[in-house]
Amino acid sequence: MRSPRGLRWLSALGLAASFWATPVLPAEQIELSYPPFGTFSIRTSDLETYARTGVASPELNFLLRLIPTDQTGEIQQNLNAAIDIEPTTITQVINSPIGRVLFERLGRVFKTGDGENGAKALATAMEVAAASPDGITVLTVLRGFPDKSIQIDGQFGLQAVGALFRAIQNEVEAVKFVERVATVQPTITLPNLPMPQQAGNYTWNKQTISFVNPQRGTQPIPADVYVPEGLTAPAPLIVISHGLASDRLSFAYLAEHLASQGFAVAAVTHPGSDANQIGHFLSGAPLDYQALPEDWVQRPLDLKYVIDTIAAQAPANPTWNINTNQVALFGQSMGGYTVLAAAGAVVNWPSIPQECKRIAEDSFSFNISLPLQCRIIAAQPPKTSVADPRVKAVIAVNPVASTLFGESGFAEIRVPTMLVAGSNDIFAPPLEEQIRPFTWLQHSSPKFLSVIQPGTHFSTIGVSSDGVLPVPQDLIGPNPELAQVGIKGLSSAFFKAFAANQPEFRPFLSQTFANNLSSEEDAFKFFIVDQLNVNQLNQVLSRDTLTNR
């Protein structure tokens, strides 16, 4: 059975899980504490019978009577809902900061038989469930729980579940709001120009170079440079920054497309957070999470030094007709943060420790990018600005930066900016990581927000050399190649208008054009706006979300 939308969070927990070696003894009893009704004991076998037949034991039936009638069917369905995650995915993601935070929070609800936090036991249970022929279900997790009983804090659990579903509902409502704003825009006449999503007329050559970021040491860093042939004027340079567990090939499809349109492109591999690092980890080597704090700082500088290197090498290479003073950036996920920082966004170093302390103490926060963002606390602030004045425009797809920059940091961006969100992205939730930050772009003119429906965190990523962190198909979503056509179109139109100074392409940054980007069988739809009314956005969200921000 395909997992419902809410259970995608269980997939995310499995993906981010930490693993502790603990002897496995299947849980036989569930002790549910729910004041003022008292404590209820439920046998695991009773749940299994109910899931299989719909027949409830007297003890379980008493609890079911406390639940609204229209929800009891969903309970049986959710007991049987399975999520497919490879056992190695859970076992190998050892000591994940995100996994530790999330499981510690879950462990406050699901405790061991002696009342201790159940984080380690839950992680073990998830690994055991993933190895089960039935896949990960509520029942297989219970069978893998390494204690004979589970204590559940019913009141705290209901608060947590309520917070989760409020968060999900607000994400849904925020995305719907953006879509409504986009669809009421008037239809415009598109210019009689080649459609930006179609390949251009330029052939191009690709060359792999290396550069050095002296802040990282003397290690050569690879970059692929794509240069159009037969240019009559220097080409603007587009620099691409990949996300965590990707590399410079992850957006080769986009680099090739932009090169065919007449842009020079440089795709960088960031050595502290690339697919090679994750690949070694998946082969059994420990993942050095201590490198991630410094990588937050060094990534924007990687972009500066690759531009410097191309500028230095271009005079000696007659085929490189590149304008390194006219630069635009494209980044995804952690790369989204990277390009925004290089475009002028400022990390709010003084406020981050206190904000991350609040996040760590918040049991009801479900933005799983925040623990990753908070890794920057262990790094030293850069001595100079990482912003590059050569940057004239920036696109950030699924960026994770809400806590790193905050409202004041986003307001420092003063170049044309596009944020791209996936409506079903649970790793960089669209409301908190793209939609709200879009309203913080006070000095970016113009600015654009695009939502891919039903885009996930992986919908725009191509194939890397070492592969990316394996994830369940349910999290990947529809075939990413179908969404990548739209990314080609939006990126080309945006860079033509604001990096190549061809304003005639500006009308393509409209919903009229976005309607042309819908993929085969409507697998993906694109929505684009250039403004949002903050008050109207707030009105569609729950009071709880507004007061907690």
| pLDDT average, residue stretch 42-58 | 86
Q: What are the φ and ψ backbone dihedral angles of 236, each rounded to 5 degrees?
A: -60, 150
pLDDT at 70 over 80: no
Residues sharing a CB contact under 8 Å with residue 534, sequence separation 6 or more, in sequence order: 439
> CA 507, CA 494: separation in Å to the nearest integer?
10
- Dmax over CA atoms of the chain, in Å, equals 83
Q: What is the pLDDT of residue 87?
A: 67
Q: Which amino acid type is present at position 216?
A: R
Q: Which amino acid type is present at position 449?
A: L
Q: What is the pLDDT of residue 276?
A: 62
Least confident of 11-25, 104-118, 424-438: 11-25
- DSSP for 260-292, please give it: HTT-EEEEE--TTSBHHHHHHHHTTPPP-TTHH
Please give the structure tokens belonging to residue 328.
């635009």
Q: What is the pLDDT of residue 258?
A: 98
pLDDT at 176 over 80: yes
What's the mean per-residue pLDDT of the chain?
Answer: 83
Q: What are the φ and ψ backbone dihedral angles of 40, each rounded to 5 degrees?
A: -120, 140
Global confidence as pTM: 0.80
Three-state DSSP at 24 gives coil
Q: What is the pLDDT of residue 114?
A: 85
Q: Any idea what the Cα angle at residue 472 is, between residues 469 and 476, rounded to 5°?
A: 85
Peptide bond before residue 454 is cis, with ω within 30 degrees of 0: yes
104 C-beta neighbours (distance < 10 Å), count: 17
Q: What is the pLDDT of residue 21?
A: 29
> CA 385, CA 297: separation in Å to the nearest integer?
10
433-445 pLDDT, tens digit each: 999 999 999 999 8
Please give the structure tokens belonging to residue 273.
């957070």
3-state helix, strand, coil in the chain (%, to 5): 45, 15, 40
Q: With bands split at pLDDT 50, 70 and 90, how would you rate the model's confidence at 489? A: very high
DSSP 435: I
pLDDT at 54 over 50: yes
Domain 175-548 has CATH 3.40.50.150: no
266-277 pLDDT, tens digit each: 999 998 777 665
| pLDDT average, residue stretch 355-359 | 89
| pLDDT average, residue stretch 82-109 | 64
Least confident of 224-233, 286-295, 326-335: 286-295
Q: What is the pLDDT of residue 246?
A: 83
> CA 344, CA 334: separation in Å to the nearest integer?
16
pLDDT at 12 over 50: no
Residue 399's nearest CA partner among 365, 366, 438 is: 438
pLDDT at 431 over 90: yes
Q: Which amino acid type is present at position 167?
A: A
Torsion of the alpha carbons at 538, 542, 543 and 546, rounded to the nearest 10: -50
Please give the structure tokens belonging to residue 172.
């849904």
Q: Any idea what the Cα angle at residue 352 is, between residues 348 and 354, rounded to 5°?
A: 135
Q: At what angle do helices 97-107 and 8-16 cross, to 10 degrees?
A: 120
Q: How far is CA 381 from the centre of its chain?
A: 24
Least confident of 37-51, 89-103, 246-260, 509-523: 89-103
pLDDT at 307 over 80: yes
326-350 pLDDT, tens digit each: 999 999 999 999 999 999 999 999 9
DSSP 441: -
Contact (CB, 8 A) for 506 and 418: no
pLDDT at 36 over 50: yes
452 C-beta neighbours (distance < 10 Å), count: 30
Contact (CB, 8 A) for 368 and 400: no
> CA 119, CA 111: separation in Å to the nearest integer?
8
Residue 401's nearest CA partner among 422, 361, 425, 373 is: 373
DSSP 214: T
| pLDDT average, residue stretch 147-174 | 76
| Domain spans in the chain, listed from the N-terminal domain onward | 5-147, 175-548
Q: What is the pLDDT of residue 359?
A: 84
